[in-house]
Every structure is written in structure tokens, then in C-alpha cells.
Amino acid sequence: MHKFSPIKFSITTILHQISPSVKRLKKYVSAGGREEWTIFMSNPKTSTKLITIIAIAAAALASLSGPPVVPPPLEEPYVPPPLEELIPQGERMDNSAVIRVQLGDKPVEMTMERYLFGVTAAEMLATFELEALKAQAVAARTNAMYTMEVSPKARHPESHVCGDPSCCTAYKDDERLRAEWGESYVLYISRIISAVLETDGVYMSYDNEPILAVFHSSSAWKTETSGNVWLNDLPYLLSVFSPETEENVPDYVSTVTIPRDDFSSAILDVFPDADFTGEDETWIHTSGITYTNSGRVYEMIIGGVQIKATTIRSMFDLRSTAFLIEFKGDEVVFTTTGFGHGVGMSQYGANVMAASGSGYEEILKHYYTGIELTNQH
């Protein structure tokens, strides 16, 4: 059998064996500190590898004064454990409730708990504060109960909810999460599991019914009242202050630039009575711009036609209705702040509140006016 010299063993083997695992360990510890270190060490596979690394290093050092040592084989690629091994055992409300989810062209039956894992992970970054993730889990649970008990979706009568965010909420199954998160899977899914289990059975209610718990990515200073975006004013979806800024939200302020002729053509396609025969400065009547109480544009006059800001946002794929519009040469430039319809909980605002010490209950009661937090237990 071929044997390595002590020095060759101590260099070659340690570099091969330690490098990938130490990189993974450093990622775990730097990402979340004590919480993620506990997760790392409580996983039999990862903790065993760390012990193996230490043993290899000790053997290498001992070999410098002893006989040549045959190095162990290189470690196998890391494979995260099955999701079931990461979920604590026990009786829970979400684990006993069943929900039908429209995925593709067929309904899939699963527990509410498993559904909430997929929704919370799809709708909010797993790196957000745990209390923000809890608020997201409660919002997702509440929305599911709303469609099950108050307002069923006509688009999929055989299912309570679907995975299309334009209809219900986004959803990612475990296979997709593993592919997207890679070696961070255990760290991230453990945070999602904690958010769901630590709010087991909790939902928001108003007048003893689950509410329509809509949410969005980020707001420009204030959230929006529901009636300014959709048809109905709901008493718990009012405009409130939201604390996020460009310092803690990526792409908080963004621009969309449209060639002058493309802008007028797009308006004429939807509003054929619009008139763009005059000078550019006459196309938009600044005196005709009205704003909501949150400071977003409500409607404006373009080419002599009154158009709602929600329509303009959809036509030009704007990130929000908190926008400024101006002509620059042969282009029309929209500058937007925030992302989303602006109604209900701001996810980045919730994260800022959580980082400042707010619990999920305080976050939810701030963004949803007059609601009660109800526990199904």
C-alpha cells in the first residue's frame, strides 16, 4: 500500500478534507451566530464531519513525530437531511389541518404546516429577522383561512389556494428550495420551520372572521389604503407609517425609461381618445395629478385623458404608484419608490421593526388596523 510522508499527509489531506467543510461552517456561524451554530451541531451529519476534521488534524500533527499515516478517503458531497428529520415531533394545529393547493393543473392535498413552509419561504427572504418571518407565517395562514372560510377563489374551485402570486400567494416545494438554497438549505429551512411552528394556529381576525391579510415588499413612508388600489375599503387595511428606507431596502428607488413615441403609443392603445399632437410639455397636466393620503399618485391626466395610477403602473411595469414622471429629451422617465401595491404589511418594514425589537404580534397589529390575534388551540 502506498504511504504518504508525514509532512505530505499533514498538508495534502488537511487541505482536501477541511477546506469545503470549514467554508460551510464559517458560512453558518457568520450568517446567524449562536442560533445557526446550534443548528449546525445538532445535525448529526454536519457535527460528525466537524469531529472528523478535528481528528484528521490531530492525526496529522501526531504523524510529524510518528510513522507514516495512510490518509482517509475524501469526504462525500454534503447532502442535507430529509425535511421530516428537521421537523420536531408533536401534535400541532397546523399539522392536523388539511388544505388543497392548486399546483399546475391539479389540486394537491397537504397539511397546513407543510403549505406554510412553502409559502413563507417563497414570499420572504429566509435571512430576515425571525419575528418578521413569524409575521409572514401568520399572514400566510390567515390568507389561507380567508379563502377557505370567507371568500373562496373562483379560479380554482377544487382547491382552496394556489401557488400563483397573482391569484393567491407564491409557493415553493421542498425540492425547489433545496435547489435554490444549496448548502444553506438546513440553515434557511430551520428558520422557516421555527417561524411556522412558533406561531402554530395563530391567525388574524376582524369581527370574528379571518382577514384578507395582503402584504407587499416595501413602502414609501406609508402603506396604502385598500380602496385606493382595489374596489373596497376594508377597515383593517388603512394607511400607516412604515419605517424602511433606501438604507435597508435594495432598489428602493428605481427608474423606468421609455422612448417618447413608445410612451404615447402605449397610452393610445388603451385610451384611443388621448391627444399627443401638442408639445411634449402639454402631454401631462401636472395640475391634474391627484395623490392618496399615503403620498402615492392616485390618478393623472395624460393626453387629456384621466388615468388611474394603478393602470399606469401596470402598463409600464412600474414597481409602485409612488412615482414621479418627467420628460428628458426624447424619453419619459418614471422614478419610483418602494415595491408593490402598498396595502397591508410591508415585508421590509416588518424586518426593520423586528430588528428594532418588535415581536410579530406588534408588527401585525401595526400594519393591520384593529385586528385580533386568534389562536385555534
Same domain for 283 and 367, yes or no, is: no
d(CA 370, CA 236) in angstroms, rounded, equals: 6
The domain in which residue 55 lies consists of: 6-76
Q: How many residues does the chain have?
A: 377
Cell of 260: 417618447
Domain membership flag for residue 260: yes
Domain membership flag for residue 43: yes
Cell of 111: 397539511
Same domain for 197 and 113, yes or no, is: yes
Domain membership flag for residue 238: no
- Residue 11: what pLDDT? 43
279 dihedral zone (left: phi>0; alpha: psi -120 to 50; beta): beta
Same domain for 118 and 201, yes or no, is: yes
Report the largest interatomic distance among the alpha carbons of the chain, rounded to a whole angstrom: 92
Below-70 pLDDT ranges, the chain? 1-75, 377
d(CA 160, CA 141) in angstroms, rounded, equals: 12
- Residue 9: what pLDDT? 39
- Give the pLDDT confidence of 181-212 residue by residue, as tens digits: 999 999 999 999 999 999 999 999 999 999 99
Contact 132, 350 (CB under 8 A): yes
401585525: which residue's cell?
A: 364
d(CA 120, CA 133) in angstroms, rounded, equals: 7
- Residue 14: what pLDDT? 45
- Residue 154: what pLDDT? 85
Domain membership flag for residue 237: no
Same domain for 97 and 166, yes or no, is: yes
Domain membership flag for residue 116: yes
Same domain for 130 and 201, yes or no, is: yes
- Tell me which H or E stretch contains 100: strand 98-103
Whether the CA torsion 150, 154, 158, 164 is positive or negative: it is negative
Domain membership flag for residue 240: no
Contact 97, 161 (CB under 8 A): no
Same domain for 179 and 134, yes or no, is: yes
Same domain for 201 and 111, yes or no, is: yes
Same domain for 106 and 209, yes or no, is: yes
Domain membership flag for residue 243: no
Same domain for 196 and 263, yes or no, is: no
Residue 302: phi and psi, rounded to 5, are -125, 125
Cell of 44: 448529526
User: In whole angstroms, how large is the CA radius of gyration of the chain?
Assistant: 27
- Residue 36: what pLDDT? 52
Domain membership flag for residue 88: no
- Tell me which H or E stretch contains 50: helix 44-63
- Number of domains comprising the chain: 3
- In DSSP terms, 285 is beta-bridged to 301
- Residue 8: what pLDDT? 40
- Residue 282: what pLDDT? 83
410591508: which residue's cell?
A: 346
